[in-house]
Amino acid sequence: MDCGPTAIQAVAQSTALPGEDERELASPAAVWRLLERQGITEKVVKILHAVVYRYHVRFADRCQVGRIFLTGDAEQVMPPWIGEGMASDIRGVATLCRKLHAVITGALPESLLDHYAEERKPHVREMTSHAVFFGLTPRAGVATGPR
């Protein structure tokens, strides 16, 4: 559907709590309750579609087998709430490219590549933890981690 240059896509976010019915959460009445709490009315917004999104948190068990490396979404999947997934992917690829360049040009030994995954893991897990926190905070008020 081409909405034209004046269309704006907006996402209203709320965390589904245990026992809540996902069909009810995506109903027009539930979406309007969420929007109205933010001061948004039918005068300025038309709901075209509502869906319950299930986020995923996944980490690859290993990111290197010989000369084959996993990076980006093949390495980890994190919730979208702080926009960190793609940023983390870009940092991972940039790090791997710098290391590969150093090894290919002979500036550093091939063993440098053995540390790629271990160097990335703490940062990726911390950013994932932040994304989960911010995804749960608006509704639940307290982050308890992935469900």
Say what the pTM is: 0.64
SS3 category, 96: helix
Query: Which tens digit of pLDDT belongs to each residue from 74-119?
Result: 888 888 878 888 888 999 999 999 999 999 999 999 999 988 888 8
- Cα separation, 33 vs 28, whole angstroms: 9
- In Å, how far are 6, 8, 45 from 2, measured between CA atoms? 11, 12, 17
- Cβ 81 vs Cβ 131: under 8 Å: yes
